[in-house]
Amino acid sequence: MAGWSEKVLDIDLSTQTYKTYPLDMEMARLYIGGRGLGARLLWDMVGPDVDPLAPENVLIFTNGPLTGTGYQTSNRFSVTTKSPLTGTILDANSGGFWGMQFKKTGHDVMIIRGRAQKPVWIEIKNDEIKFHDASELWGMRVFALTEKLGQNNNKRNVLCIGPAGENLSRIAAIMNDRERALARGGPGAVMGSKNLKAIVVEGKERPGIVDKDQFKFLLYEARKSLAQSPLTSQALPEFGTVVLMNIMNNVGALATRNHQQTQFEGAEAISGEELTDNYLVKNAACWACPISCTRITRTEKVEGEGPEFESTWAFGAQCGIADLPAIIEANSLCNDLGLDTISTGSTIACAMELSEKGYMDSDLRFGLADRLAPVIEALAYRRDIGADLADGSLRLATKYGHPELSMSSKGLEMPAYDPRGMQGQGLLYATSNRGGCHMRGNMVGPEVLGAPKLIDRFQVQGKSSFVILHQDTAAAIDSLVLCKFTNYGVAEEYFARVLSAVTGIKYSTGDMIKVGERVWNLERLYNLREGFTSKDDTLPPRLLSEAPTDGPSKGWVVQLEPMLKEYYRGRGWDEHGVPTSRKLNELELNNLV
């Protein structure tokens, strides 16, 4: 069948052996690829008895039927595992080139099991799989390692962990193509626990396409739409995502100093406008992406990709720091050490508040830009104060007796959007299956940017229907796997049409959104099986009870309870947040429980 390679590569690091077998195509039809396929496979492989850092946990790398076809942003891939940070199901996806190259090796899925006795790295050239001793590579940072292993964007691509993953930091990322990240929830620690330093891929296979004429037409149409949209043709290429800094600050929804305020007086100094005027070298793009939102920036000390909005916020407003060069350098350092920038910045901010309030003995204080780099280094190596910070803000705050100061949901640090100024975003964070996250759907479009249309950001009643739609759509796009930015210029009708053209299976838009709903419910079932309950669908007490005392969000806290009740009903779940048998039947999930 076209689109999929119909092949699974299953690697056991304990024995350094591998096997390949056919992909279950009925499973592929129901879950497509990426996040969906990963979730379905993890359901069978990793139960509640497995510690995330034990050899029995797995890393499942997946691409999708569109990956490598050349359709706009068809470069992405996913990793699915049980998160060592949250204990929930985790998937993270990344762009760049590695996903496209992995698809060209002729595999849809790569499962990594077990634990190598000594550090190894894996080299995959089409059907040829080699295990190499990585003893001499252990300890290397990401940039040097990526170069050493022969990164060549269109021919040979490197995915690896840095020292943070080796040292099992629960906020460690897996990096690919030097500065792209499978960042959230600690997949780098899982890879480190397996003594796996890197996976290098080279391939020659081209994905099959059933209806090539229709595919070419849709490619042309999508390119035209992306070129016509002011969001994808001007906003993202010209200013990148950091342009959100000023608007989020202006409307009073920019989390500041560990969410103690909702506006940052230094926002302009760390804005997209400032970055573009003074630090931008040029734009760059992932494979097959016409948007080119990547920003290559330079300071006196570093030159590289980013930082994106969330990273700039995490080291900026969240830490009370208005020093853009220090933020750019912190972002680069995290990429080199293999760390999730959102969790790292927010964990440092948590430590700053704990220290300022006298709960923790350290010299960290809000606004101290020169402390960023040393603390990040210490965190990656679990040295000194870094030992406390390496496992994220919830474990840190709990150790010092104040778990309420961790700005996380289900243990995952939330990103920049303060939900007191965006009620729907609060519901979205609280119900996100991998914890506080803006990529499982994001209400910034309708609640602030007016995309596709503006809704009242403070309204509570009826908000859940928007959140559900966003979550299901995001899960569908993550299963294709495409970049969500394309959806700013191209309707998801196009995704269904291109999926049909590539695979020969007729998918309507409704079918595709149904896949997203199925994936969302399966992830929910996974978390319920792990022992999570409706009590975990919540937010830090600060966001539920401490209203901002000034600014445009003055007087607002997140009205979570009524939204949550409405959300459960809208999802077809019972009052405890458990999917009903009727819903499971509707989604063809009834055979799993």
Partner 1 sequence: MPTVKLFANLRKVAGTKELPAAGTTLEEVLSELRKRNPPLVDAILEDGTLRPHVVITINGQITIDLNASVMEQDVVAIFPPIAGGASPPSFRRMNGWMV
Q: Residues interacting with partner 1, by CB under 8 A?
A: 230-232, 234-236, 238-244, 246-247, 250-252, 272-273, 308-309, 415, 417, 438-442, 444-446, 448-455, 457, 462, 465-466, 469-470, 473-474, 484-488, 490-493, 509, 513, 551-552
Contact assessment for residue 149 and residue 45, using Cβ atoms and an 8 Å cutoff:
no
Nearer of residues 347 and 432 to partner 1, judged by Cβ: 432
Contact assessment for residue 448 and residue 254, using Cβ atoms and an 8 Å cutoff:
no
Strands 412-413 and 174-176: unpaired
**CB 214 to partner 1: min, Å:** 20
**CB 395 to partner 1: min, Å:** 27
Nearer of residues 191 and 253 to partner 1, judged by Cβ: 253
Nearer of residues 253 and 354 to partner 1, judged by Cβ: 253
**CB 402 to partner 1: min, Å:** 29
**CB 463 to partner 1: min, Å:** 8
Contact assessment for residue 71 and residue 288, using Cβ atoms and an 8 Å cutoff:
yes
Q: CA 61, CA 58: separation in Å to the nearest integer?
A: 10
**CB 317 to partner 1: min, Å:** 15
Nearer of residues 404 and 456 to partner 1, judged by Cβ: 456
Cβ-in-10-Å burial (0-12, 13-18, 19+) of 550 comes to: exposed
Nearer of residues 71 and 102 to partner 1, judged by Cβ: 71
Give CA torsion, residues 315, 484, 63, 571, to 10 deg. Answer: 100
Contact assessment for residue 314 and residue 345, using Cβ atoms and an 8 Å cutoff:
yes
Q: Provide the phi-psi class of 157: left if phi over 0, else alpha when psi is between -120 and 50, else beta.
A: beta
Nearer of residues 129 and 235 to partner 1, judged by Cβ: 235
Measured in Å, how far apart are the chain's first and last C-alpha atoms? 30
Q: CA 336, CA 164: separation in Å to the nearest integer?
A: 9
**CB 244 to partner 1: min, Å:** 4
Q: How far is CA 538 from CA 74, 124, 134, 402, 426, in A?
A: 34, 42, 42, 17, 9
Cβ-in-10-Å burial (0-12, 13-18, 19+) of 399 comes to: middle
**CB 242 to partner 1: min, Å:** 8
Nearer of residues 87 and 548 to partner 1, judged by Cβ: 548
SS3 call for 171: coil
**CB 358 to partner 1: min, Å:** 33
Nearer of residues 299 and 509 to partner 1, judged by Cβ: 509
Contact assessment for residue 332 and residue 295, using Cβ atoms and an 8 Å cutoff:
no
Residue 457 DSSP class: T
Nearer of residues 387 and 439 to partner 1, judged by Cβ: 439
- Find, among 491, 479, 427, the residue nearest to 458 by Cα: 427
> Who contacts 327 (Cβ-Cβ below 8 Å, separation ≥6)?
270, 307, 311, 312, 315, 316, 321, 369, 372
Nearer of residues 15 and 461 to partner 1, judged by Cβ: 461
Q: How far is CA 507 from CA 67, 122, 256, 501, 511, in A?
A: 17, 36, 43, 9, 6
Nearer of residues 509 and 534 to partner 1, judged by Cβ: 509
**C-beta neighbour count of 20 within 10 angstroms:** 16
Q: CA 15, CA 12: separation in Å to the nearest integer?
A: 6
**CB 16 to partner 1: min, Å:** 39
**CB 4 to partner 1: min, Å:** 25
Strands 109-113 and 59-62: antiparallel
**CB 239 to partner 1: min, Å:** 5
DSSP one-letter string for 374-403: HHHHHHHHT-TTHHHHTT-HHHHHHHTT-G
Nearer of residues 389 and 475 to partner 1, judged by Cβ: 475
**CB 475 to partner 1: min, Å:** 11
